Amino acid sequence: MTRPPRTLPSRLRCTALTLAMGLAGVTVMACSQAAQSPPSVQHYGIGPGPLGHVLAQFAAQSGVPLSFDPALLNNRQSQGLQGDYSVDQGFAALLDGSGFSLIGAGNGGYTLAPVVAQGAALELGATNVNGLLLTQDQATYAGGQVARGAQLGVLGNQSIQDVPFSVTSFTAQTIRDQQAQTVGDVLLNDAAVRQSAGFGNFSQVFIIRGLPLNSDDIAYNGLYGVLPRQIVDTEALERVELFKGPNAFLNGVSPQGSGIGGSVNLQPKRAEDTPTRSVTLDSTSASQVGGHLDLGKRFGEDNQLGARVNLAQREGETGVDDEHKRSVLATLALDYRGERLRVSTDLGYQKLRINEGRAVVYPTGSKVPDAPSARHNYAQDWSWSELEDTYGMARMEYDLSDNWTAYVAGGAKHTRENGVYSSLYVSDANGTARGGMLYSPHDEDNRSAMAGLNGHFATGPLTHQLNLGVSGLWGEQRSAYQAIATAGRYASNLYDPVQRPQPVATSFGGDIHDPGIVGKNRIRSAAVSDTLGFVDDRVLLTVGVRRQSIGVDAWNTVSGNRTANYEASITTPVYGLVIKPWEHVSFYANRIEGLAQGPTAPASGVTNPNEVFAPSRSKQVEAGVKLDTEHVGATVGVYRIEQPASSTSVAAGNTLGTFSVDGEQINRGIELNVFGQPIDGLRLLTGATWMDTRLENTSAGANDGNRAAGVPRFQFNLGGDWDIPGIEGAALNARLLRTGGQYVNAANTLNIPAWTRVDVGARYRFKLDENDITLRANVENVANKAYWASASTANNYITQGAPRTLKVSATLDF
């Protein structure tokens, strides 16, 4: 279990340095050219494809703001544009014979309007908005950082304005411009989300509306159980879609039972009508360098066949002293889009190695110690973690008619996790600590499937969007462990860690060379819903129900005894209302329930390791208003979530606590989100949330009225991206994250203070020999602030925030 050498290949260092210097060397020449106005006539080489997609490419290349709803174009095709054109000539050529004309929308922008014949308006045919690839072509809010639509489980692809839920869909542009390397980096753009670390490992846990979402429970193109288990890289992602609130009706029960405060769905990149050829070299912190190759192309008649490949690797020291990471990603996306049939296949491989990863801290005294220096590492030099995932899925959709679409999808993954972990148990404000050791190999296999039918029809003055769906997930987990007992923990110090030889294990569970089965889960469900439209669809009422069956078998790794064997069936309803009194305003309300596989006690450190609890039901009521103007989108909402609470309590005189489901946690909050481009050249991603939380019906009333652990009173983001006037392609960005204080335990005797983090960045895009080159630089945590970022909601540990991190990259689109 010794770690491999951490030396960085010299060839990779030299390649990165050479390209970065070469690209930087042409910046001065390109800056002088960028300040000039673009020529009135340009050369365009845009290939054939859907008219909406071709228009978007032309607008982007000509630098003209253009906003329109792609659904209005009714899947019209275009021959593309080849040759030299002015802006007016280009639009005229592309719109010729389409039935649409270009009209000014103010501020130098344009939109589309149907051509009106003499005495009669042009009649448009029915439009199917549930296509497999629609999310790739959906319009974005001004500025391109947030999409106007998202995939909402059984409801299919929907406009955010038309659904009675709070949804944010971050685009690939946001990922690129911020150099976001993981899904966690992207989700920090929403003020309702903060991040913690997993129990005993380095997984990302997302705290949404004060409740955890494990990375195991993220969906991929609508399907649960097929993504890498702990950390998901972003190089192959087109969208990161955030749904807030319980979602058992929309997606079914998540594999690990988290996600009551919200869920996340990831959309993979697809080949576009214009070939994608992009290579990026990047450097992070002191010596972590990497590269990313993105290749995509469509083939065949009408570009029906598509293929996209993403390859990425990153390796080196992180911003934390002596912490080393190496990540590898390879994905292949294939798709076919015919007149009625659409098929896609996504295959992926991801491997992550972390040496001396800075672990979580357990405060066991009467006060939480101050956070040490942001770069300080208190890990043992023998600790490491390796995560390896192979995954894939396929999805098919077929338009039975203009109004009915059937779909089916299936996927699987295999996870291999290994590592030697060491967490600190700190007993006083001086950092006095004892360290543990846990070696826990883990294998996991999942199979997942779903199918459904979406339809649109009318009964008299009412319209209907009918959705039928079934889903199933089958998982098997195999684990074993070696650890040291509590009494054998070695002495150390948070601020002055002592490096110890790796302790000899004194506690064992299973065969570490051949881990046995510790859990099996079977989740099956069927759902039906109808969205009724009144008054020309200005009032939309959604009603639905999902019947779910959860089966869980679990075995103790030490004794081999069964710790759970249950099969439960529960029905979860949903009610939602959208009222659109004006063109740009939607009022919404919902009542939705969540259902989760019961929590599992930690494998060590408690008196009841690996105990599995029964399924738990939660519920949310929410109301709010959404604004969607030409330039800005915004959402204001209030909510209340009721969720059974879990905690670890330690009785007097005991060294181990007992994990239990204890009482009920009630979170109430107010949220505000603003995104878009209020003025030309200024893009916003900002928001705030205020939360009130309390515990009720706890054991003997001991914690009744207390705040739940890990839930701050407030969180807000101020984010902006600004084009520098006079220098085409140059932009600056900044983001401020502010998070309130949190309690660490249900008794509210331990707490961590509020914290603030500031990130800044810049980028410059220019052309060199008809190729686009983009240089980016981002600095996260500019002040190198030392802070405890979050407290676990159930396991009484805290996670330290990342130190100052410099990210630079150079991208060549050729």
Residues 248, 119, single domain; the answer is no
Give the residue-averaged pLDDT of 713-732: 96
625 near 587, Cβ under 8 Å? yes
What mean pLDDT do residues 397-402 have? 95
- In three-state secondary structure terms, 584 is coil
What's the structural domain count of the chain? 2
Report whether 438 contacts 406 (CB < 8 A).
no
Domain end position, chosen among 111, 127, 143: 127
What integer pLDDT is reported at residue 610 of this predicted model? 66
User: Whole-angstrom Cα distance, residue 445 to residue 457?
Assistant: 41
Pick the range with the lowest mean pLDDT from 148-157, 277-286, 648-657. Answer: 648-657
- Examine the domain organization and report whether 123 and 265 are in the same domain: no
Q: Are residues 338 and 471 in the same domain?
A: yes
Lowest-pLDDT range, 189-193, 528-532, 643-647, 666-670?
Answer: 643-647
Binning pLDDT at 50, 70 and 90, where does residue 115 land? Answer: low
User: Are the C-beta atoms of 766 and 346 separated by less than 8 Å?
Assistant: no
- What pLDDT shows up at residue 30? 35
Q: Are residues 116 and 256 in the same domain?
A: no
Q: Is the pLDDT of residue 123 over 50?
A: no
Tell me what pLDDT residue 99 has: 76
Hey, what are 267's tokens?
């959309």
Mean pLDDT of 347-368: 95
Do 122 and 257 share a domain, yes or no?
no
Question: What's residue 256's pLDDT?
Answer: 83
Lowest mean pLDDT among 255-269, 444-458, 612-626: 612-626
Say whether pLDDT at 71 is over 60.
no
Whether residue 359 is contained in a domain is answered as yes
If pLDDT is split at 50, 70 and 90, which confidence band does 706 have?
very high
Determine, yes or no, domain membership for 5: no
pLDDT of 283 > 90? The answer is yes
Q: Is residue 491 part of a domain?
A: yes
Give the bridge partners for 516, in sequence order.
479
E strand or H helix at 136, and its extent?
A: helix 134-137
Residue 650: pLDDT band by 50, 70, 90 thresholds?
Answer: low
Question: 394 and 251 in one domain?
Answer: yes
Boundaries of domain holding 117? 40-127
Question: Angle, to 10 degrees, between the axis of helix 27-34 and the axis of helix 10-25?
Answer: 40
In order of 98, 486, 722, 752, the CA distances from 495 in angstroms are: 69, 21, 40, 17
Residue pointed to by tokens 């955890």: 212
Distance CA 751, CA 415 (A): 35
Helix H segments across 742-794? none
Q: For strands 490-493 and 432-435, give the pairing.
A: antiparallel
Residue 129: pLDDT over 60 = no
Residues 615 and 485 in one domain: yes
CB atoms within 10 A of CB 245: 28
The tens digit of pLDDT for each residue in 176-213 reads 999 999 999 999 999 999 999 887 678 899 999 999 99
In a domain, 217, yes or no: no
**Contact at 8 Å (CB) between 73 and 53?**
no
Determine, yes or no, domain membership for 134: no
Residue 58's pLDDT band (boundaries 50, 70, 90)? confident
Say which CATH number the domain at 469 has.
2.40.170.20
- Is pLDDT of 469 > 90? yes
Which CATH number belongs to the domain containing residue 71 in this structure? 3.55.50.30
In this predicted structure, what is the pLDDT of residue 130?
A: 37
Concatenate the DSSP letters of all residues of 452-493 into one string.
EEEEEEEETTEEEEEEEEEEEEEEEEEE-EEE--GGGPEEEE
Find the length of the chain.
Answer: 814
Do 750 and 622 lie in one domain? The reply is: yes
All residues at 6 or more sequence positions from 498 whose CB lies less than 8 Å from its CB, including other chains: 490, 491, 492
CA 671/CA 673 separation, integer angstroms: 7
Which pLDDT score, from 0 to 100, does residue 569 have?
87
pLDDT computed for residue 29 by the predictor? 34
411 lies in a domain?
yes
Strands in 788-791's sheet, in edge-to-edge order, are 490-493, 432-435, 424-426, 361-363, 798-800, 788-791
Name the percent of the chain lying above pLDDT 90: 67
- What is the pLDDT at residue 127? 34
Residue that terminates a domain, selected from 127, 154, 170:
127
Distances from the Cα of 119 to the Cα of 97, 102, 122, angstroms:
19, 20, 10
Residue 205 has phi, psi (to 5 degrees) of -115, 125
What is the rounded distance in angstroms from the CA atom of residue 761 to the CA atom of residue 808? 9
- What is the mean predicted confidence (pLDDT) over 690-712? 92
- Helix (H) or strand (E) run with residue 10 in it: helix 10-25
* Residue keyed to tokens 């019961």: 598
Which runs of E-coded beta strand occur in 198-340? 204-208, 211-214, 219-220, 237-244, 262-268, 276-284, 288-299, 305-317, 324-337
Q: Is residue 224 part of a domain?
A: no
Residue 649 or 419, more confident: 419
C-alpha angle 128-134-135 in degrees, rounded to nearest 5: 140
* Listed residue (755, 679, 773) closest to 715, CA to CA: 755
Mean pLDDT value across the chain: 87
Same domain, yes or no, for 470 and 607?
yes
User: Other C-beta atoms within 10 Å of 300: how many?
Assistant: 9
Of 106, 127, 148, which one is at a domain's C-terminal end? 127
User: Can you read off the two tokens belonging to residue 17?
Assistant: 């340095």
104 - beta bridge partners? Answer: 110
Are 35 and 71 a contacting pair, CB within 8 Å? no
CA distance linking residue 44 with residue 61, whole number of Å: 8
Q: Residue 618: which residues within 8 A CB-CB, separation 6 or more?
A: 246, 260, 593, 594, 595, 596, 641, 642, 643, 644
Q: Are 291 and 310 a contacting pair, CB within 8 Å?
A: no
Helix (H, G, I), strand (E, B) or coil at 541: strand
Which residue in 618, 611, 635, 471 sits closest to 552, CA to CA?
611
Q: What is the mean pLDDT of residues 293-319?
A: 96
Instruction: Please indicate whether residue 130 or residue 443 has the higher confidence score (pLDDT).
Output: 443
pLDDT, tens digit (0-9, with 9 covering 90-100), for 208-267 = 999 999 998 999 999 999 999 889 999 999 999 999 998 888 888 888 878 889 999 999
Q: How many CA atoms are closer than 13 Å to the CA of 800, on its beta-carbon side?
A: 30
Q: What is the mean pLDDT of residues 412-437?
A: 95
pLDDT confidence band for 499 (50 / 70 / 90): very high
DSSP state at residue 795: S
User: Is 116 part of any domain?
Assistant: yes
Tell me the residue ranges of DSSP E strands in 583-712. 585-596, 616-628, 632-649, 658-679, 682-696
pLDDT for residue 103: 73
Q: Give the mean model confidence (pLDDT) for residues 105-131.
A: 48
* pLDDT in the model for residue 12: 38
The answer to whether the CB of 473 falls within 8 A of the CB of 513 is no
* Contact call for residues 707 and 695 (beta carbons, < 8 A): yes
Tokens of 473: 């997930």
